[in-house]
Amino acid sequence: MTSNSVVIFDTTLRDGEQSPGASMTRDEKLRIAKMLERLQVDVIEAGFAMASQGDFESVKAVATTIKNSTVCSLSRALDGDIDRAAEALKPAESGRIHTFIATSPIHMKYKLQMEPDKVIEQAVHAVKRARNQCADVEFSCEDAGRSELEFLCRIIEKAINAGARTINIPDTVGYALPHEFGETINQLLTRIPNSDKAIFSVHCHNDLGLAVANSLSAVVNGARQVECTINGLGERAGNASLEELVMGLRTRNDSLQLDTRIATEHIVPASRMVSSITGFPVQPNKAIVGANAFAHESGIHQDGVLKHRETYEIMKAEDVGWNTNKMVLGKLSGRNAFKTRMEELGISFETKEDLNETFKRFKSLADKKRDIYDADLHSLVADSLEMDETFKLDALSISSEMGGTPEARVVLSVNNERNEIISTGDGAVDAAFKAIEAIACSCAQLELYSVNAITSGTDSQGEVTVRLARKGRIVNGSGADTDVIIASAKAYVHALNLLEAGEKRNPQTGSI
């Protein structure tokens, strides 16, 4: 790595998954990991191996599959966590153990209930144990944004001496302001005698909307790794957004003189994939990847762009992947064109049967709408992902007329046993949900119902997100169809299956 290169550490699969309802299956994590590898992300944090058997298997699967990025697992500063992470990372060509402990007075007193010297002792022990099993060890000071500078200097110096080669300074609660966070990095690099023996990293949360600004301030002051997620996904207000950080560094290279190795043309496909899998839609005015990011409605703006693009655009839409939507498939497209386009989007098929089944779904969709865009393809694959299905929607019919009471007839299989019921509701979707729930008896609470058009036009697929909660567990189900009521029913059933088959996550999952 050169002095003007910034390491991109993506934690979509770990911190991003901690967003309520964003839990991902092993196969979904693998899909995203392959896309991150195509993006040329330097480090992929694949999960928290100790959190659950499912997380362990996901980290191991990513470690087995990914060849061109370092695969990382998070662990608390505990022997069991470190050993579990090391075990999951064994297949990796390049693996990293990322261990952490809280360093702020409020965390040490109320959460850890440990004296500062004991925290340092445990941190050093954890780094040494991790280093004995993995050559690449990262150490994080949880809640560094509210930690005392003197204490940070002490614990980091000892962690580097113990073998940590990356030191992460997280603004865990999104409290810092850019000027003070940048100065913290500068002070640490200046005051710690062995700071030149490690790469300094930052992990900023977006509680005040400053995650990207804080991260950029940090790299200006000497940090050379940034931890981020696709679409800024993450718990609470989310993390620093990968696409904003990368394009900020690239677009303002004239001032910052820093860059990354990210293949930016894959940014938009990655954003679409993560949105489709998690069920978290991207807001239209989101920087870089929002639908309106390169749209111009004002006559003055349109006139300027037509005369010279740079009058109102500081980046080329093509540079971040917006040109990928120009390849349009239709009902006359063949299997090879379909397979080729899917591969270009980072979507591969493990077996010929998987390809044939998805191609069949593609043909069915193409009969319903004239043109199939990349966004449609992402939803198509998300809709056909393999998972253990307790519930399967076999049939749905709706009867609804102005002034009447909508009625839904649903045929739902529960563990392969077909059940049929008719229910009424305040609307067609409400009637369908009530019919499904009458069969499923899930006792889940509906917390969110969201509909988005995947592409423009009256024949667009409706992509529906349904958020269900039960016994403290929150999941997002998604469904897509040209009929929004069918899409809604698919999303509800998908959410029910996630509740049934979801991993039982450890309540002490790490948050840095």
Q: Which residue has the higher pLDDT, 314 or 414?
A: 414
**pLDDT number for residue 301:** 59
Q: Of 311, 314, 179, which is closest to residue 252 (Cα–Cα)?
A: 314
Three-state SS at 264: helix
| pLDDT higher than 50, residue 505 | no
**pLDDT number for residue 326:** 46
Among 212-216, 286-290, 341-345, name the one with the lowest average pLDDT.
Answer: 341-345
**pLDDT number for residue 250:** 96
**pLDDT number for residue 506:** 44
Contacts of residues 195-198 at CB distance under 8 Å and 24 or more positions apart, as own/partner, are: 195/156, 195/160, 197/160, 197/165, 198/160, 198/164, 198/165, 198/166, 198/167
- At 341-362, the pLDDT tens digits run 888 777 778 788 888 888 888 8
**How far, in Å, CA of 171 to CA of 142, rounded?**
8
| pLDDT higher than 60, residue 503 | no
| pLDDT higher than 60, residue 274 | yes
Among 42-51, 204-213, 473-482, name the one with the lowest average pLDDT.
Answer: 473-482
- Mean pLDDT score of the chain, rounded to an integer? 89
| pLDDT above 70: percentage of residues in the chain | 90
**pLDDT number for residue 72:** 98
| Banded model confidence at residue 502, pLDDT cuts 50, 70, 90 | low
**pLDDT number for residue 279:** 80
Helices (H), 345-396: 352-368, 374-384
**pLDDT number for residue 63:** 98
3-state helix, strand, coil in the chain (%, to 5): 45, 20, 35
- At 101-149, the pLDDT tens digits run 999 999 999 999 999 999 999 999 999 999 999 999 999 999 999 999 9
| pLDDT higher than 80, residue 92 | yes
* Contact between 116 and 159 (Cβ < 8 Å): no
| Tokens encoding 200 | 């300094």
| pLDDT higher than 60, residue 203 | yes
**pLDDT number for residue 388:** 64
- At 447-494, the pLDDT tens digits run 989 888 766 666 677 888 898 989 878 888 888 888 999 999 999 998
Among 45-54, 223-232, 354-363, 381-390, name the one with the lowest average pLDDT.
Answer: 381-390
**pLDDT number for residue 5:** 94
Residue 230 is given by DSSP the state G
| pLDDT higher than 90, residue 305 | no
Q: Which residue has the higher pLDDT, 346 or 77?
A: 77
**pLDDT number for residue 510:** 64
Q: Of 366, 368, 373, which is closest to residue 456 (Cα–Cα)?
A: 373
Q: What is the model's pTM?
A: 0.81
- At 385-411, the pLDDT tens digits run 545 689 999 999 999 888 899 999 999
CA torsion sign for 153, 159, 164, 170 is negative
Residue located via tokens 């640490």? 188
**pLDDT number for residue 85:** 98
